[in-house]
């Protein structure tokens, strides 16, 4: 049997493409090597699935640091509003939260995954849990795929196999191998939205401590310029730092040497230095005869206090009434600017997103078809486009999947 379209990869992009193509009357075969579809979707947004960002096309483009212009056509054809309407129409009520992030009302990513699978089946998509081993290409045109010793024929094949991050979800880079054999250039793969290893060891002494409503800034020490600043949640780990604002920061610094970027964590962003100084004076006045290390429990988390005291350079057993005005100002400054320096990213397998991929110059942005091989298409993370956190990466998957599905 010959199919109108074959799709390799049953993630966000692959499922959207399958539903779109079958919805316009195409006979579609979807391959997924995992035992279930949408494995990575299940863990996105801490298991809540941030499906998109409720914003304009121009705002979407602003949140794509690599090759944003390539996506303009795809976003125009299938916007975040279209994504929201799509899920509402297949029975998943949505809600918009802080930062225009869109989630299922149930807060369950399984609702998103199950609705996509159900819709694909309802539309008559054939699903095979088999691993594709190679593409069948002749005279610069695709004619099908080989999987587990069998040939499956189609003049339209979509590679939507994801990146190389989160190997446990099946993202092992298979698609890059297929694309390279087909003659495509692969832009160097790097981790994006990834935890960070710090040069300093003191973050490890606070392992497990989560800070909410803190401000994280990244400074390029070659020119002193602030290249990132965001308020949110961060986590100290056995290797350095992680958490939402750290992941966001990582995507801003991938193009330079990581060592050039000291991080500063403002423990008390809501208070100005003047107000923080007054607050510290009040706390000190209430603990006038105590040791310095025992006077900070109202301002800092217990786990941070020994580290903070060490960084301040004031002996821990110094009596509060002996702390000078200059020392107090230094304490305030440290609370507003706790420095740590990036040593490296964590491995790509720990990244949420893979940066790099199929060169966008070799893909038609209006159709997602290869410019080198007739009938070969790409969608999702495998393409050299990625975004900041906030639902933008899933919107890339849905938009490119839709466009590919419409044109296969």
Q: What is the pLDDT of residues 33-54, one digit of tens each?
A: 998 998 889 888 788 999 999 9
Judgement on whether residues 291 and 318 belong to the same structural domain of the protein: yes
CA dihedral in degrees (84, 119, 103, 233; nearest 10)? -120
**CATH classification at residue 385:** 3.50.50.60
Q: Which of 101, 118, 105 is nearest to 50 (CA)?
A: 101
Q: Looking at residue 165, what is its pLDDT?
A: 67
Distance in angstroms (rounded) separating the CA atoms of residues 72 and 50: 21
- Rounded percentage of the chain residues whose pLDDT exceeds 70: 95
What's the pLDDT tens digit per position in 88-147?
Answer: 999 999 999 989 999 999 999 999 999 999 999 999 999 999 999 999 999 999 999 999
Residue 337 above 70 pLDDT? yes
Question: How far apart are alpha carbons 128 and 285 in whole angstroms?
Answer: 71
Please tell me the distance from the alpha carbon of residue 404 to that of residue 94, in angstroms, as a whole number. Answer: 25
The domain in which residue 187 lies consists of 2-191+348-407
pLDDT, residue 134, reads: 97
Model confidence, pTM: 0.86
Strand ranges (DSSP E) for 248-324? Answer: 262-266
Please tell me whether residues 104 and 239 are part of one structural domain.
no
> Is the pLDDT score of 256 beyond 80?
no
Question: Where among 304, 328, 345 does a domain terminate?
Answer: 345
Residue 170: its pLDDT value, please? Answer: 57
What's the whole-number average pLDDT of the chain?
A: 91
pLDDT beyond 90 at 220: no
Same domain for 301 and 391, yes or no, is no
Q: Which of 117, 158, 165 is nearest to 386 (CA)?
A: 165
Are residues 168 and 254 located together in one domain of the fold?
Answer: no
pLDDT for res 60: 97
pLDDT at 232 over 80: yes
Task: Say yes or no: 21 and 74 in one domain.
Answer: yes
* Same domain as 400, residue 271: no
Q: Which two tokens stand for residue 71?
A: 């996506």
Rounded Cα distance between 284 and 389, Å, is: 40
What is d(CA 41, CA 48) in angstroms, rounded to the nearest whole number? 9
Separation between Cα atoms, residue 131 and residue 161, nearest integer Å: 11
Whether the Cβ atoms of residue 245 and residue 230 lie closer than 8 Å to each other: yes
Q: Which of 376, 352, 351, 392 is nearest to 71 (CA)?
A: 392
- Based on the domain organization, do 237 and 290 belong to the same domain? yes
Structure token digits, residue 63? 């949140």
Q: Supply the pLDDT for residue 396.
A: 98
Give strand pairing partners of 216.
230, 265
User: Which pLDDT score, from 0 to 100, does residue 259 have?
Assistant: 58
Same domain, 32 and 180: yes
- Same domain? 282 vs 389: no
Q: 360: which residues sit within 8 A by CB, 6+ positions away?
A: 67, 70, 383, 384, 385
- CA–CA separation, 237 vs 98, rounded Å? 26
Same domain? For 105 and 135 the reply is yes
105 and 180 belong to one structural domain: yes
Closest to 280 in 3D by CA, of 264, 293, 304, 299: 299
Domain boundary among 345, 367, 389: 345
| Percent of the chain as helix, strand, coil, to the nearest 5 | 40, 25, 35
How would you class 234 by CB atoms within 10 Å of its CB: exposed for 0-12, middle for 13-18, buried for 19 or more? buried
For 263-283, what is the mean pLDDT? 82
- Which residue, 297, 324, 345, sits at the end of a domain? 345
| Among the listed residues 121, 151, 143, 146, the one whose alpha carbon sits nearest the alpha carbon of residue 131 | 146
Tokens for 87? 């899920």
> Is the same domain home to 114 and 176?
yes
CA–CA gap between residue 72 and residue 225 (Å, rounded): 30
Report residue 29 CA to chain centroid gap: 29
Cβ proximity of 85 and 34 under 8 Å: no
Overall number of domains in the chain: 2
C-alpha–C-alpha distance, residues 71 and 77, integer Å: 10
């Amino acid at each position: 049997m010959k199919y109108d379209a074959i799709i390799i990869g049953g993630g966000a992009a692959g499922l959207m493409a399958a539903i779109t193509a079958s919805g316009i009357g195409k006979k579609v075969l979807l391959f997924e090597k995992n035992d279930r579809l949408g494995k990575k979707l299940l863990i996105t947004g801490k298991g809540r699935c941030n499906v998109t960002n409720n914003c304009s096309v121009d705002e979407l483009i602003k949140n794509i640091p690599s090759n944003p212009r390539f996506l303009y056509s795809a976003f125009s054809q299938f916007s975040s509003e279209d994504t929201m309407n799509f899920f509402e129409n297949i029975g998943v009520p949505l809600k918009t939260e802080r930062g225009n992030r869109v989630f299922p009302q149930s807060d369950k990513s399984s609702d998103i995954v199950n609705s996509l699978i159900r819709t694909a089946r309802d539309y008559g998509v054939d699903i095979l849990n088999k691993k594709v081993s190679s593409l069948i290409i002749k005279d610069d045109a695709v004619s099908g795929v080989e999987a587990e010793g069998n040939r499956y024929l189609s003049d339209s094949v979509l590679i939507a196999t994801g990146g190389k991050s989160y190997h446990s979800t099946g993202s092992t880079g298979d698609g890059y191998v297929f694309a390279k054999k087909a003659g495509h250039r692969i832009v160097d793969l790097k981790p994006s939205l990834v935890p960070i290893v710090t040069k300093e060891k003191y973050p490890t002494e606070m392992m497990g401590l989560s800070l909410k409503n803190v401000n994280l800034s990244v400074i390029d020490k070659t020119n002193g310029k602030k290249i990132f600043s965001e308020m949110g949640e961060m986590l100290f780990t056995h290797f350095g730092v992680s958490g939402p604002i750290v992941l966001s920061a990582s995507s801003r610094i991938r193009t330079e040497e990581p060592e050039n970027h000291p991080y500063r964590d403002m423990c008390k962003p809501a208070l100005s230095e003047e107000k923080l100084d007054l607050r510290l004076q009040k706390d000190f006045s209430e603990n006038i005869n105590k040791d310095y290390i025992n006077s900070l429990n109202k301002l800092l988390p217990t786990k941070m206090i020994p580290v903070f005291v060490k960084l301040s350079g004031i002996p821990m057993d110094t009596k509060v009434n002996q702390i000078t005005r200059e020392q107090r100002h230094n304490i305030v400054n440290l609370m507003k600017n706790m420095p740590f320096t990036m040593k490296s990213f964590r491995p790509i397998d720990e990244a949420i997103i893979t940066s790099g991929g199929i060169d966008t110059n070799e893909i038609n942005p209006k159709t997602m078809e290869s410019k080198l091989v007739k009938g070969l298409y790409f969608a999702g993370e495998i393409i050299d486009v990625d975004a900041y956190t906030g639902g933008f990466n899933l919107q890339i998957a849905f938009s490119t999947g839709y466009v590919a599905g419409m044109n296969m």
